[in-house]
A = this chain, B = another copy of it.
């Protein structure tokens, strides 16, 4: 499994409720692509969103996001991480 950070734009004015609702759409179908969404963050002022996931490849992550109705603008494979 690889880890991915994807970036969403255009989420201006997003609320906690809306973020949770959209994320839930991913969670409901993620198993169909072997993807596991770990966390999502959003900045309502700039409309930027970030989503951390594990999965086989970027395309699988994007397919889930597309089917959930919110395709990512960019997806990065984050091979390295530190705490």
Contacts and interface: CB of A to CB of B under 8 A. Distances in A.
A3 B2 CA distance: 25
Interface string A31-68: 00000001111111110101010000000000000000
A42 B83 contact: no
30 contacts: A5-B50, A14-B80, A16-B79, A16-B80, A19-B80, A20-B82, A38-B83, A39-B81, A39-B82, A40-B81, A40-B82, A41-B78, A41-B80, A41-B81, A42-B78, A42-B79, A42-B80, A42-B81, A43-B77, A43-B78, A43-B79, A44-B79, A44-B80, A45-B77, A45-B79, A46-B76, A48-B76, A50-B50, A50-B76, A50-B78
